Structure formats: C-alpha cells, structure tokens
Structure 1
Amino acid sequence: MAALADAEHRLGRGLPDDLRQLLLECDGIIGHTAVDTVWSVEQIVAQNLLFRTDSSFAQLYMSFDALLFFGDNGGGDQFAFVQTPQRPDIFVWEHETDSRRWVAGDLRDYLGRSLAEGGDAWYQ
C-alpha cells in the first residue's frame, strides 16, 4: 500500500510488522464507545509528527522519539510501540503524569485486552 510507504517515509522509520499487516487489512480499529483503538495511517503520522515537533510538548514532557504512537483511550492517554530499542511490547503514555508503562506483550495482546469487555480503562 502506497499510503504505508508514504507514512514510513514521513515518519523516518518503518512501522512494526504486525501494525503494518493490520493496516494493510483495515485503516484503523474503533473500539468500545468509539475509542480509536488503532488509528488510521494518516492519524498515526499526524500524531507522531506533532509529538516530536511541537515545542510546547518538548517543554512539558520527556522526549517521544523512542515511541511510535498508534492509538488512544479517548481521554488523552496514548498507546505506543517502543522503537528504540525495537520491541513488540505496547506501552501506555499517561498524559497527566508523563509516565510510560508496559500494558501488553504485542499488538495481538493489546487488541485482545483493549477490545475485551470492561471499558476503556482496561490498562489501569
């Protein structure tokens, strides 16, 4: 898909293989209560570029360079792959505290947990 190649070019890095495969099948996943469990390709690019280039974020938060954001909980917390060092684990960035912590072993685990019954605060 040309959109994925363009996204990787704009981000300056490749997408994790399992995310790439998912995006080849669908352009994002909407979860419970219309939460963007997995963003569209365009939203992945836009959000990651914003987080890496917005000077106000640089003053408020630790660097986001090692993360690749791909979804959110609808309330400000965002989910990301760690790209440096590259690993399959999913972390949540909690916007109120700037904490980053492990929530799933890989994308399949993340989807199973986030799409299960129990609400959008499944990771807390």
Structure 2
Amino acid sequence: MWRQAATAVFPDVGFRRPVQASELVAAQTRLRRTLPAELRQLLLESDGVIGHLHVDTIWPLDQIVERNLLFWSDQTFTQLYMPFDALLFFGDNGGGDQFAFVQKPERPDIFVWEHESDSRRWVANNLQDYLGRSLRAGGDDWYQQ
C-alpha cells in the first residue's frame, strides 16, 4: 500500500528493504514508546522512503531511533529549544527542518520543526498526506507554501 501510494505521486521514489517485525519491537523498546501504526506499516514495506534529491523523506528505522533519543536527551538542546518529548521525528527536508508526529497528545497529524526558529507547525493530516505533499512538490521547502 505505502509503496504504491508513494510511487503514484513520485515514480522515482526510492525504497529500502522492509524492516522485520522484531526490529520494530526492539526500536520501540529503545524508544520506550510505540511508533504510530501507519509508520510501523510503512517501515514493514520499506525501511524509509527516499524522495527528491535523495532526501530521506522517511528515515530508516535506526535513524528514527537515534535522532529521537538524541533530541529527547541532549542537554544542549534543552538550553536552545523547547522540549521535544512530545514529538516523534521521522524525516527531514535535507536542509535541517524535521518532520514529526505529535505523541502527547497522540494524533495522526504531521508537524514540521523549523530548526532556525524552533517553531513547530502543522503541515499534513497524516502520514499519507505528508508523503503526497512532500513527494509531489519536489522542493525542500514544500511546506512553506
């Protein structure tokens, strides 16, 4: 389903090998939280999605884990930015801005964290909407429009 949806929008989209269910369990254990269902389903089809200009529109699972653990625990970040513990990052635009689910409260919406201003704002209704918008536009600033 996810491969078809992404390819319908951007025929040159890139995919990786599927994640194994045991890898998802291990990742969720490390994160101490459950990944959103639609992200789990996507990762079971492809370990990330590569969009325009080879940008990781959806990061591989290991990158999702490592980046979130860093953002939730790095003491430097607590001095520079509002807390990230409500967010679950899963992709970026290739220029520093990152995309996340809000998990506190849990919701399907996708938000962008703009690294230069520390702003967080809505950009898509859910993961499928995010893929459609980001892969259709082709630019790293698709969410600015």
Q: Give the match for residue 77 of structure 1.
A: 97
1:14 is paired with a residue of what secondary structure?
A: coil
Deviation digits for residues 70-95 of structure 1, max 9, x if unmatched? 00000000000000000000000000
User: Which of 96, 102, 105 is 2:122 aligned to?
Assistant: 102
Report the Cα offset of residue 22 of structure 1: 0.1
Identity within the alignment, %: 71
Q: Which residue of 2 aligns with 1:111?
A: 131
- 1:4-35 residue CA offsets vs partner (Å, 9 max, x unmatched): 00110000100000000000000000100011
Of residues 24, 40, 58, the one that matches 1:20 is: 40
Partner of 2:27: 7
Q: Hey, what does 2:85 align to over in structure 1?
A: 65
Query: Larger relative contact order (C-alpha < 8 A, sep ≥ 6)?
Result: 2
Residue 120 (structure 1) shift: 1.8
Secondary structure of the residue aligned to 1:100 is: strand
CA distance in 2, matches of 1:117, 1:44: 23
> SS of 1:27's equivalent?
coil
Cα drift, residue 118 of structure 1: 3.9
Letter of the 1:97 partner, please give it: S
1:19 is paired with a residue whose SS is: helix
Give the SS at the match of 1:20. Answer: helix
Distance in structure 1 (CA, Å) of the matches to 2:32 and 2:137: 36
Secondary structure, aligned partner of 2:113: strand
Unaligned runs of 5+ in 2: 1-20
* 1:120 matched to 2:134: no
Which consecutive residues of structure 1, in runs of 5 or more, have no partner in the other structure? none
Q: CA deviation at 1:119?
A: 1.2
Partner of 2:109: 89
Q: TM-score, normalised by structure 2?
A: 0.84
Amino acid at match of 1:12: R
Q: Aligned letter for 1:116? A: R
Bigger Cα Rg: 2
Supply the distance in 1 between the matched residues of 2:67 and 2:94 (Cα, whole angstroms).
14
SS in structure 2 opposite 1:115?
helix
